[in-house]
Amino acid sequence: MRILGRIVGVRSTKQSVGIKVGGFLPRHHINGRIYGRIHGVERMVTMKVRWSIYVLVCCVLLCLTGCGSNKEAQRSVLRVGVVLYTQDDPFINALTDCLKEDLEDYETDSLKIIMTVRDGKNDQKLQDEVVEEILDAGCDILVVDLVDRTEPSNIIKMAKNENIPVIFFNREPVREDLMQWDKLYYVGGDARQSGTMQGEIAAQVIRTDHSVDRNADGKIQYVLLEGETGHQDAIIRTDSVVKTLQEQGITLEKLSYQFANWNRGQAENKMTQLIHHYGDEIELVLSNNDEMAMGAVAAYEASGYPKENRPVIFGIDGLDSALDAIQNDLIQGTVYNDRAGQAEQISRLAMDLFQGKELEGYDFENERYIFLPYQKVTAANVEEFLNR
Ligand code: GAL
Ligand code: CA
Q: What is the mean pLDDT of residues 208-220?
A: 97
Residues with CB under 5 A from ligand 2 (ion): 213, 215, 217, 219
Chain segment 245-281, per-residue pLDDT in tens? 999 999 999 999 999 999 999 999 999 999 999 999 9
Nearest atom (ligand 1) to Cα of 288: 8
Chain segment 281-324, per-residue pLDDT in tens? 999 999 999 999 999 999 999 998 888 899 999 999 999 999 99
CA of 300 to the centre of ligand 2 (A): 19
Q: What is the mean pLDDT of residues 177-202?
A: 97
CA 176 to each of CA 14, 151, 180, 277, 353: distance values in angstroms, whole numbers, following the listed order: 74, 12, 7, 44, 22
Give pLDDT, residue 210: 97
Q: What is the mean pLDDT of residues 384-388?
A: 86
Q: What is the mean pLDDT of residues 376-387?
A: 95
Q: Are strands 369-372 and 364-365 parallel, antiparallel or unpaired?
A: antiparallel
DSSP tag of 185: E
Task: Count helices and strands (H / E) in the chain.
Answer: 14, 13
Residue to mutate, 87, 91, 377, ligand 1, most ligand atoms under 8 Å from C-beta: 91
- CB contact at 8 A, 269 and 238: no
The verdict on the CB of residue 238 being under 6 Å from ligand 1 is no
Give pLDDT, residue 317: 98
- CB contact at 8 A, 371 and 345: no
The b-or-e profile of 42-63 (16+ CB within 10 A means b, else e) is beebeeebeeebeeeeeeeeee
Containing H/E element for 329? none
CA of 331 to the centre of ligand 1 (A): 18
- CB contact at 8 A, 299 and 325: no
225 C-beta neighbours (distance < 10 Å), count: 31
Nearest atom (ligand 1) to Cα of 191: 7
CA of 289 to the centre of ligand 1 (A): 7
> How far is residue 291's CA from residue 327's CA, in Å, rounded to a whole number?
16
The verdict on the CB of residue 294 being under 6 Å from ligand 1 is no
Nearest atom (ligand 1) to Cα of 90: 10
Closest by CA to 385, choosing from 333, 319, 332, is 319
Chain segment 121-151, per-residue pLDDT in tens? 999 999 999 999 999 999 999 999 999 999 9
Across the chain, mean pLDDT equals 87
pLDDT above 70 for 182 = yes
> How far is residue 279's CA from residue 376's CA, in Å, rounded to a whole number?
29
SS3 (DSSP) at 348: helix
> How far is residue 351's CA from residue 78's CA, in Å, rounded to a whole number?
8
Q: What is the mean pLDDT of residues 343-361?
A: 97
pLDDT above 50 for 360 = yes
Give pLDDT, residue 31: 44
Give pLDDT, residue 70: 57
> How far is residue 233's CA from residue 170's CA, in Å, rounded to a whole number?
9
pLDDT above 50 for 33 = no
Beta bridge partners, 228, equal none
DSSP tag of 19: H
Global pTM? 0.82
pLDDT above 60 for 6 = no
CA of 348 to the centre of ligand 1 (A): 22
CA 165 to chain centre: 18
Residues 6+ apart with CB under 8 A from 92: 84, 85, 86, 145, 170
SS3 (DSSP) at 186: strand
- CB contact at 8 A, 324 and 51: no
Give pLDDT, residue 72: 61
pLDDT above 60 for 203 = yes
Give pLDDT, residue 14: 32
Give pLDDT, residue 87: 98
Percent of the chain predicted with pLDDT > 90:
78
Q: What is the mean pLDDT of residues 192-215?
A: 98
Q: Return the residue whose CA atom lies nearest to atom 10 of ligand 1.
A: 91
The verdict on the CB of residue 270 being under 6 Å from ligand 1 is no
Q: Return the residue whose CA atom lies nearest to atom 11 of ligand 1.
A: 170
The verdict on the CB of residue 232 being under 6 Å from ligand 1 is no
DSSP tag of 212: G
Between 215 and 7, name the one with better pLDDT: 215
pLDDT above 60 for 30 = no
pLDDT above 90 for 61 = no
CA of 260 to the centre of ligand 1 (A): 12
CA of 77 to the centre of ligand 1 (A): 31
